[in-house]
Chains A and B, each alone.
Chain A
Amino acid sequence: MYKVNEIKELIRALDNSSLEELEIRGENKTKLLLKKTASSASAPVSQKQDTAQAENREEQAPAPVFEQQQEQAKDPASAEKETETKSKADTSHLGEITSPMVGTFYSAPSPEEGPYVKTGDNVKKDSIVCIVEAMKLMNELEAEIDGEIVEILVENGELVEYGQPLFLVKES
């Protein structure tokens, strides 16, 4: 598998080039195909990992299309992996705001007040998006990303782990 950042870099490189298509064949029968079409440059990137053969890929819709194919028919866990990757596929291009510590997640400064942010709100790097509290230390978490809050992944009062994603952000 390529890392998200590596793929992003390749997409950028392709965008800035006159090439229409970029295909990389790697080890373990990994194949990465990036294609440009005239229609839309801003369409969402889709990531897919399955055992399908290369012939199918022409039917994949939005462009630029990204496919990563890995043939692993002999791997019994491949079916499970497939669904897992697919379910995450839609969010792979989104930024995450993660929790810096174990603690309780609060969406608002106090129970009487409204939440810091709602789905659809635009945030800046220094916008406070929530509080994570552990042992009465209140951590007012800053977004560190400019963009739009696409999804809030935890509920008010929930215990969160170190590094757990709290928000999905569409970077602007």
Chain B
Amino acid sequence: MRDKLLAILHDSGSSYISGQEISDKLGISRTAVWKHIEELRKKGYKINAVTKKGYKMEYTPNSITADEINAYLDTKTFGRVVHSFDQVNSTQIPAHEAAREDAPEGTIVVAEEQLKGKGRMGRPFHSPKGTGLWCSLILRPSFPPQQAPQLTLLTAVAIAEGVRKVTDLPVDIKWPNDLLIADKKIAGILIEMQSDPDEIHAVIVGFGLNINQKQEDFPEDIQSRATSLAIAGAGQYNRAQLLAEILKQYEYWYFRMLEEGFGPVREKWEALAVTIGKYITAVTTRKTLCGLARGITKDGVLLLETEDGKIEYIYSADIHEQRST
């Protein structure tokens, strides 16, 4: 009920909405409306109440709670089960546990702060309190494990589309799933899978999205490479609203992929990607390859044409664009 009340207050924006109108919409008494308003105030919301005008939201604490997410959520299953924490080492840890305990597909774990946010190969991911989205989403796809890497490109598409819809900012994708605004990183994605050789038990999609950080909030060593939506755009953004839109996009593209295969996701990815057609350096654990990024295969594997005209298939690598000096 509180999430619906929040949605109504968010919808009415800077204008007042009467207690009677709210009680009609929610099908509860005006006294009950008042009680819920009081509960929200206790949680840090500032709600103006003016006689004969009604209620108006003055300030939302921009918190990432189930109520706040629900107020914006427009999905069937994604984000309908929320485990929210003030502080965790990494949202991946409780998400893995929840997945092992049969949490349904679409379950999310969110936290205000991660102490040991991590990326690929155990690299640290800076995730300070209250500034961004630190989230893990549980998927249980029916396809075989060898198809799962396609989810990497799907995740990039879903987050890029969600952010674009809410903020209008030009989010680009760098193969396979780096999200950039003006060449600086706005998000980190870590996808982990629990599987045996023929069956996926669960895929845990972890992502961190930099939203309201100021440039000086980033550690010095990544300041030149990282940015936030607030730095790139105008002012602060509502984190719950962004999460709700990302989940909506994710659900849409995910079920489309289950029904129609990888094709539509791949097309959308190509439309948003900036890697293809560029001269790049691909650093793998074994070797470094330079050449032209020709495109991706039907599964999303990067095709790199080296100087001698040979096509290399890149499954995992750090990609750097070669810059003309």
Over the window 291-325 of chain B, the binary record of Cβ atoms lying under 8 Å from chain A Cβ atoms (1 yes, 0 no) is 00000000011000000000000011000000000
CA distance A64 to B300 in the complex (A): 51
Closest residue of B by beta carbon distance from A105: B285
- Residues A102 and B315 in contact, CB atoms below 8 Å apart: yes
Kindly state whether residue A62 has any CB partner on chain B within 8 Å: no
Does the CB pair A112–B197 fall under 8 Å?
no
Tell me the complex Cα distance, A113–B315, Å: 23
A157 touches B285 (CB 8 A): yes
Assess whether A135 is in contact with B176, with CB atoms less than 8 Å apart: yes
* Contact, CB under 8 Å: B315 / A137: no
In Å, the complex CA distance between A142 and B198 comes to: 12
* Least CB separation from B287: chain A residue: A157
- Tell whether, in the assembled complex, residue B121 and residue A111 are in contact, meaning their CB atoms are under 8 Å apart: yes
The verdict on B122 contacting chain A, using a C-beta distance below 8 Å, is yes
B169 at the interface (CB under 8 A from A): no
State which residues 170-194 of B face A: CB under 8 Å. Answer: 176-177, 189-194
- Shortest A36–chain B CB gap in Å is 35
A113 to B123, CA, bound (A): 12
Task: Determine the chain A residues whose CB is within 8 A of the CB of B284 once the complex forms.
Answer: 104, 157
Q: How large is the interface on A (under 10, 10 to 19, 20 to 34, 35 or more residues)?
A: 20 to 34
A136 touches B121 (CB 8 A): no
Looking at chain A's contact residues, is the secondary structure mostly helix, strand, loop, or mixed?
A: loop
The answer to whether B152 touches A135 (Cβ under 8 A) is yes
Q: How far is the CA of A99 from the CA of B148 in the complex (A)?
A: 13
Please, how many angstroms separate the alpha-carbon atoms of A102 and B176 in the complex?
16
Tell me whether A2 is interfacial, beta carbon within 8 Å. Answer: no
B122 x A137 contact (CB < 8 A): no
Distance A138 CA – B197 CA, assembled complex (angstroms): 14
Which of B189, B198, B316 is the most central at the interface, judged by chain A CB atoms within 10 Å of its CB? B316
Contacts A135-B300, A139-B148, A157-B286; A100 near B153 (Cβ below 8 A): no
The interface residues of chain A lying within 8 Å CB-to-CB of B197 are: 97-100, 144, 163
List residues 191-216 of chain B with CB under 8 A from any CB of chain A.
191-198, 203
- Shortest CB-to-CB span from A158 to chain B, Å, is 7
Residues of A within 8 A of B286 (CB): 157-158
- A138 and B193 within 8 A (CB): yes
**Inter-chain contacts of B194 with A (CB < 8 A):** 140, 142
**Chain B count of residues within 8 A CB distance of the other chain:** 33
With A100-B146, A136-B177, A157-B284 known to touch, is A109 a contact of B193 (CB < 8 Å)? no
- Alpha-carbon separation in the docked complex, A135 to B284 (Å): 12
A140: nearest chain-B partner, CB-CB? B192
Counting CB contacts under 8 A, is B35 at the interface?
no
Asked whether B233 is an interface residue with its Cβ less than 8 Å from the other chain, the reply is no
Complex Cα gap A171–B148 (Å):
29
Residues of B contacting A111 with CB < 8 Å?
A: 121-122
> Which residue in B189, B196, B203 is a CB contact (below 8 Å) of A136?
B189
Given the complex, which residues of B lie within 8 Å of A135, measured CB to CB? 149-150, 152-153, 176-177, 300-301, 315-316
- Say yes or no: B193 contacts A104, CB within 8 Å: no
B121 & A110 in contact (Cβ 8 Å cutoff): yes
Contact of B195 among A100, A113, A157, A158 (CB under 8 A): A100
A133 to B152, CA, bound (A): 11
The answer on a CB contact under 8 Å between A139 and B145 is yes
Q: Mark A119-158, 1 if CB is under 8 A from B, else 0.
A: 0000000000000011111111110100000000000111
A113 → chain B closest CB, angstroms: 7
Q: Is residue A103 within 8 Å, beta carbon to beta carbon, of the partner chain?
A: yes
Distance, CA A107 to CA B97, complexed state (A): 23
Q: How far is the CA of A134 from the CA of B189 in the complex (A)?
A: 14
The reply to whether A138 and B190 contact each other, CB–CB distance below 8 Å, is yes
Of A99, A138, A144, most buried by chain B (CB within 10 Å of CB) is A138
Does B120 reach chain A (CB closer than 8 Å)?
Answer: yes
Report if A140-B316 is in contact (Cβ < 8 Å); known contacts: A100-B146, A101-B148, A135-B149: no
Contact of B198 among A100, A106, A159 (CB under 8 A): A100
Those of A5-50 within 8 Å (CB) of chain B: none
**Which residues on B sit within 8 Å (CB–CB) of A138?**
120, 190-193
Asked if B73 CB lies within 8 Å of chain A CBs, one says no
**Taking the complex as formed, is B244 at the interface, i.e. its CB lies under 8 A from any CB of chain A?**
no
> Which partner residue on chain A sits nearest B192 by CB separation?
A138
Closest Cβ of chain B to A157, distance in Å, is 3
Is A103 within 8 A of B316, CB to CB? Answer: yes
Cβ B121 vs Cβ A134 within 8 A? no
Give 13 pairs: A residue, B residue, CB < 8 Å, sorted on A.
A97-B197, A99-B197, A100-B195, A103-B149, A110-B122, A110-B123, A112-B122, A133-B120, A134-B315, A134-B316, A135-B301, A139-B193, A139-B195
